[in-house]
Amino acid sequence: MLDQLLQKTTALMAQGVSFAVATVVRCLPPTSGKPGDKAIIHLDGKIWGWIGGGCAQPVVAKEALKALADGHPRLVRISPSPSNPEEGIVDYTMTCHSGGAMDIYIEPVFPKPHLVILGRSPIAQTLARLGRTIGYMVTVISSEAAEEGFADAKLIEVKDYSLQSINISSRTFIVVSTQGEGDEEALEQALKSDTSYVAFVASKTKAGKVFDSLKTRGISAQKLSAVKAPAGLDIQAQSPEEIAVSILAQIIQVRSEAKQTLSQSKAASLLTVVNTEAKDPVCGMTVDTSKASHKSERQGKMFYFCCAGCKQAFEREPNRYLELTNLQA
């Protein structure tokens, strides 16, 4: 199972996909999940792997989506009776039939930022080395062989600077540092991609001339206006090292701003998922109302259950559970 999970996580990271990993760290029997059991939770809430039965899975999926939205791991406790609140633990009280308790650690996993450098100039070389130093995945594309000075970056030689072999995502940042070797061709390829960040290492004067040339090739003024040119933050950088630092600083700034926007977007998506959930009035389990097969209507309100047993218990003593529901509201 561990081998399969490692293969799965490696494949997801290679695809540039975000996900969460849940690990059972503690159990009080009887529980179907055991310490060390692991699962992957995808962005749509689907679970791959095993972390226990029906009571645990909806809770884990819900908390995993929250972790992916805010970027923070969490320790979730599922138990049949309320416990004293402990800092750092998210408590869920569920009186499921098994009667056991579980602690599950959930950690979000995000792909590394991908720095794609077009060109083999001295600035490109320095940028590749610094990018690797701060943990970025770095790919260098050049029209001619570029074997020296690029540390452990992935090197691709292609005449027209084509990006077809590159997986472009929201975490991809493209820097054109050709400096006279195919400027128009490289920048054109960068602007045809879906990345939200393109920087061009050139003076304002040179950038303007290249932009004019690209307009004749059909590149829109709107796309050209989004290019960071000159590349990097304006810190009066002079040397290749200083210019590379200014570019990485700008990428970090853009990432930080994008992260805030993305977090708000994910929070909205999470709200959509949470709005399809209801609490089983008998055991307290979270139930997906869009998929629930056990439900009952009382006093004009629909109640959802995790299993037939909970539904039967509710229908035998509806007033008891309605009173409990009202007290908890």
Domain boundaries, the chain: 2-111, 114-253, 278-328
Greater confidence (168 vs 86) lies with 168
Residue 67: φ, ψ to 5°: -65, -40
Task: Evaluate if residue 277 carries a pLDDT over 60.
Answer: yes
Predicted pLDDT of residue 13: 86
Predicted pLDDT of residue 204: 93
Is the distance from CB of 124 to CB of 180 less than 8 angstroms? no
Pinpoint the alpha helices (H) of 48-182. Answer: 56-70, 122-133
Predicted pLDDT of residue 123: 94
Predicted pLDDT of residue 216: 94
Predicted pLDDT of residue 111: 87
Cβ-based burial of 83 (10 A; exposed 0-12, middle 13-18, buried ≥19): exposed
Cβ-based burial of 173 (10 A; exposed 0-12, middle 13-18, buried ≥19): buried
- The model's pLDDT over 229-245, given as tens digits with 9 standing for 90+, comes to 999 999 999 999 999 99
Residue 12: φ, ψ to 5°: -65, -40
Class at the top of the CATH hierarchy for domain 114-253: alpha beta
Task: Evaluate if residue 184 carries a pLDDT over 90.
Answer: yes
Predicted pLDDT of residue 318: 86
Task: Evaluate if residue 326 carries a pLDDT over 80.
Answer: no
* pLDDT-based confidence at residue 290 (cuts at 50, 70, 90): confident
The average confidence (pLDDT) of the chain is 85
pLDDT mean over 323-329: 59
pLDDT mean over 196-209: 94
Out of 207-216, 253-262, 295-304, 307-316, give the one with best mean pLDDT. Answer: 207-216
Cβ-based burial of 10 (10 A; exposed 0-12, middle 13-18, buried ≥19): exposed
Task: Evaluate if residue 294 carries a pLDDT over 60.
Answer: yes
**Residues of the chain with pLDDT > 70: what percent?**
88
State which amino acid sits at residue 28. Answer: L
Token couple for 248:
């990485």
